[in-house]
A and B are shown apart, each in its own frame.
Chain A
Amino acid sequence: MKPAPFRYVAARTLDQALQLKAEHGDEARFLAGGQSLVPTMNFRLTQPAMLIDINPLLELAGLAEVESGAIRIGALTRYGVLERDPAIARNLPLIHEALPLIAHPQIRNRGTIGGNLAHADPASEMPAIVLTLGAKLRAQSVRGERWIAAADFFAGALSTTLEPDEMLTAVELPVAQPGSGACFMEVSRRRGDFAIIGVACTLTLDADGRCTAAQIGLCNAGDGPVFATEACDALVGQPVDAAAIGAAADSVRSAIDPGGSIHGSKEFQRHIAGVLTARALAVANERARQ
């Protein structure tokens, strides 16, 4: 199908884009990679009155190491670029491992991290990853800028706490520390499909192999990305052995409330979440020891 009529504006500056959004609010949408927005427009599920194309705003693309051991990724940075960037492989191994599982090469060549996060699909990988890593997201508007913790950014399916005049312009992620290991795993029906369940985790170990910090997040396990707080708390202070991993998997299985779909019932999703949690923790544990 074809999109309903709208007014297209190619932004010349960030200020102009923010000014237009301030004027038009929810009637206007920012167009980044368009890999989620345009399909919904082609189906006429989304009919914005105005599209503000931010693709010309190259200052929103790219990544930089910032003080305090974090990497800042501009919202317009495309997944194809992140996939090929050795700085991501080195510093954000969780993202590096997940990227090839996000849709297909052609989609990743166009799709952006900011668009993916602002779209806030609960089945999508990146919202779960930024939640898992405790990332911060930068929102800008004509009123100024603010940083939002990932835990405060997602507000249910396809919904965020961005105000109608705000643009997500960057995400800042803590780099992986020595003594830590990360792992991302998912199960999907076909290569590139949305995950039935996906699990992201990191483990940090002390010299004795005891867990000093654990992060576990899931995609498609609820109406937004899910952080498995109880499972993480129970791992801290423990050696990461089979019993601890099994307990974490049980905790995740019972904590989540997946929606179920034709691809898998709630019960199946819960089962997969437990299996993937155990497998991902075991891999992260191995990687943390290396």
Chain B
Amino acid sequence: MSTDSDLMAGADTHDVTVTVNGTAYRRTVEGRMLLSDFLRHELLLAGTHVGCEHGVCGACTVIYDGVAVRSCLMFAPQADGHAIMTVEGLAPDVEHMHPLQEAMRECHGLQCGYCTPGILMTMKAFLEENPSPDEAQIREALSGNLCRCTGYQHIVAAMKLAAERLRG
């Protein structure tokens, strides 16, 4: 596959070896390539969405070395040697959705779905650290993810349901 970086003679290129959703990938990219673009355009994992591209909206949130981060505020070479989980890693197929995804569907926690991957990754990391959150904690955890459709009520309800099911 030809990329911009292949075409730019003398460009600042770097070998990046990264594990995403348990699979090792190796690519050669420009240093300025955002991690969000790397995931989408180089690895073709387009489930990670790009909204504002300056760290405000949270749509591009992925789990990086175990914590939720904005992938639009990192450069791809920074991920060399690190492990990332994207929304594609949540479930093996549509028949076996993650409890977070099931709860979002049941509670109508999404409409257009653009913000959803970021919310799922934020909340996956959050619920692992806080298995029994109260509503205020859920809202605080969601504060870095903008949703312009739902008004958040159904997302909060979905997170309560998911937390309950994940506790078992």
Interface residues in chain A, defined as those with a beta carbon under 8 Å from any beta carbon in chain B: 1-8, 10, 31, 34-35, 38-39, 42-43, 51, 53, 55, 80, 100, 103-107, 109-110, 191-192
Contacts and interface: CB of A to CB of B under 8 A. Distances in A.
A132 to B, nearest CB: 25
Closest CB pairs A-B (n = 3): A104-B144, A8-B31, A39-B54
A42 B144 contact: no
A47 B89 CA distance: 35
A7 B58 CA distance: 27
B69 A106 contact: yes
Given A4-B32, A103-B144, A106-B61, A43 B73 contact: no
Given A6-B12, A109-B67, 4 more contacts: A2-B37, A10-B78, A34-B75, A35-B70
B14 A42 contact: no
Given A1-B53, A5-B12, A8-B31, A192 B74 contact: no
Secondary structure type dominating chain B contacts: mixed
Interface residues of B, number: 30
Contacts of B53: 1, 42
Contact of A43 (B54, B70, B75, B144): B54
B127 to A, nearest CB: 12
A110 B143 contact: no
Contact of B73 (A6, A7, A34, A53): A34
Nearest to A7: B12
B12 A100 contact: no
B77 A106 contact: no
B70 A107 contact: yes
Given A10-B78, A38-B73, A39-B73, A106 B122 contact: yes
A104 B143 contact: yes
Contacts of B140: 100, 105, 191
A186 to B, nearest CB: 15
A53 B141 contact: no
B31 A7 contact: yes
A43 B11 CA distance: 21
Interface string B15-59: 000000000000000111010010000000000000001110010
B72 interface: yes
Given A38-B55, A39-B54, A103-B144, A10 B80 contact: yes
Given A5-B12, A55-B78, A80-B67, A106 B32 contact: no
B143 A191 contact: yes
A34 B78 CA distance: 11
A34 B74 contact: yes
27 contacts: A2-B32, A2-B34, A3-B32, A5-B12, A6-B31, A7-B31, A8-B14, A8-B77, A10-B77, A10-B78, A10-B80, A35-B55, A38-B55, A38-B74, A39-B73, A42-B34, A53-B75, A80-B67, A100-B140, A104-B58, A105-B68, A105-B122, A105-B140, A106-B68, A106-B69, A106-B70, A107-B144
A27 to B, nearest CB: 14
B141 A105 contact: yes
Contact of A107 (B14, B32, B55, B126): B55
Nearest to B31: A8
Contacts of B30: 5
Contacts of A105: 68, 122, 126, 140-141, 143-144
Nearest to A1: B53
